[in-house]
Amino acid sequence: MYKSKAYSAATAKSPFARTTISRRDPTEHDIQIEILFCGICHSDLHTVRNEWNEIMPTVYPCIPGHEIVGRVTRLGSAVSKFKLGDLAAVGCMVDSDGTCPECRAGLEQFCPNMTLTYNSPDKHLGGVTYGGYSDSIVVDERFVLRVPSNLDLAGAAPLLCAGITTYSPMRRWGVTKDKKVGVVGLGGLGHMAVKIAHALGAHVVVFTTSPHKKDDALRLGADEIIVSRDADEMHKHASSFDFILDAVSAEHDINTYLNLLRRDGNLTLVGLPAKPFAVAAPSLLFGRRSLSGSIIGGIAETQEMLDFCGAHNITSDVEVIPIQKLDEAYERLLKSDVKYRFSIDLASLKSE
Ligand code: NAP
Ligand code: ZN
């Protein structure tokens, strides 16, 4: 074992504090990564504040972070995919059994024995796994991804969650040229969805509660923007969308959006508010519409997404912050005040 610096939350209400944790020395198939940047996902906030208590209670101290980009610093003896000094990335998962039908289908995110990057039982050291708000991490090479060399690293980190979480359902539901695609919520996930849908050739419409985000939405690749609280504007788009991606972190009415789908249109939820939704049956029945969910993506698809972003020069729009500003960043995230992802520069931790 060796020591690693990190920032942790001691309870759901504590501010972040500097700590030292143990990481395992790389075993045969492990890679040790010096973390350079780590994005801040709203899931980090839900977890730190124990908002998902009913489905995934938080074990404290909690060290979040699952949008990790860094450099390889040590290699297990059997590692073949990476060499020392390579750029490397880690997303929301660090292990799975590799043998179940889900793993065999490349859908590790559904493996019953999947290990999340943080707040999952740690098979090696006991306790729970610790994420990327830290200066280093050790991960099985099967869960380490390659970052295209042309991408800015601070902006590439959020691709590891916000990128794959939006790319995967768009591929699954056939978002292609000329499809009319809605994105609900212009936050970290939402702004990646706009960039990716635009790159896939879709006609992209953003729904926001923040009118001041209009110019940004257009710059990011949206063709139209609708302030969702304007009922008349919403009504003009009734029954017209092929696909809508809902990336909202808080409670809201999804029937309004279901009613905007055309026949056989689909609304996929990726946002994970703590409270259940109320779905009115007619919103689905009329038009044979469907409502589904999606969670991150498998490892092969995550690499496909990174390569797609490399080819289209897509990164997240980031506000780079030192790790000492975590509490402030969380408060701003709660107010939908981030353009459009915070990315922690871990150099700020090394110098502490
Ligand atoms: P975020 O950056 O905070 O963005 C959320 C956006 O939702 C806000 O920017 C805001 O957009 C909108 N919003 C916030 N409060 C709202 C309200 N009361 N009513 C309507 N809209 C509201 O969060 P994120 O990191 O993108 O994450 C979004 C959600 O996805 C979170 O619940 C997160 O846990 C979840 N998530 C799921 C997966 C998955 O695999 N399925 C992966 C990552 C994250 P506007 O200002 O434009 O209205
Ligand atoms: Zn995330």
Point out the ligand nearest to the CA of residue 157: 2
User: Residue 352 pLDDT > 90, yes or no?
Assistant: no
pLDDT at 159: 98
Answer whether 208 contacts ligand 1 (Cβ < 6 A).
yes
To the nearest whole percent, how much of the chain has pLDDT over 70? 100
CB 132 within 8 A of CB 36: no
| Average pLDDT of span 302-330 | 98
283-286: long-range contacts at Cβ-Cβ below 8 A with a sequence spacing of 24 or more?
A: 283/254, 283/255, 283/258, 283/259, 284/258
- List the beta strands (DSSP E) in 10-48: 16-23, 30-40
Is the beta carbon of 296 within 6 A of some atom in ligand 1? yes
Indicate the SS3 state at residue 275.
coil
The finding on whether 158 has its CB within 6 A of some atom of ligand 1 is no
Q: Is the CB of 43 under 6 A from ligand 1?
A: yes
Question: Is the CB of 46 within 6 Å of ligand 1?
Answer: yes
Nearest to 308 by CA among 165, 147, 184: 147
- Whether 187 is in the pocket of ligand 1, judged by its Cβ within 6 Å, is yes
Mutate to test the pocket of ligand 1, among 40, 249, 257 (most ligand atoms within 8 A of CB): 249
Q: What is the pLDDT of residues 157-192, one digit of tens each?
A: 999 999 999 999 999 999 999 899 999 999 999 999
Q: Is the whole model's pTM more than 0.85, yes or no?
A: yes
How far from 83 is each of 79, 94, 300, CA to CA, in Å?
A: 8, 19, 20
Ligand 1 atom with minimal separation from the 333 CA:
3
pLDDT single digits (tens) 65-111: 999 999 999 999 999 999 999 999 999 999 999 999 999 999 999 99
CA of 22 to the centre of ligand 1 (A): 32
Among all bound ligands, the one having the nearest atom to the CA of 257 is 1
316 lines ligand 1 (CB under 6 A): no
Please tell me the distance from the alpha carbon of residue 38 to that of residue 145, in angstroms, as a whole number: 14
Distance 272 CA to ligand 1 centre (A): 8
pLDDT band for position 351 (cuts 50, 70, 90): confident
- Of 51, 168, 189, 229, the residue with max ligand 1 atoms within 8 A of its CB, to mutate for a pocket test, comes to 189
Residue 73 CB–ligand 1 contact under 6 Å = no
Q: Please tell me if the CB atom of residue 136 comes closer than 6 angstroms to any atom of ligand 1.
A: no
* 39 Cβ closer than 6 Å to some ligand 1 atom: no
Position 190 scores a pLDDT of 98
> Do you know the residue count of the chain?
352
Does pLDDT of 274 surpass 90? no
Counting ligands in written order, the one closest to the CA of 51 is 1
What are the Cα distances from residue 221, in Å, to 195, 203, 343, 346? 6, 9, 21, 30
Task: Write down the mean pLDDT value for the chain.
Answer: 97
What pLDDT score was predicted for residue 5? Answer: 98
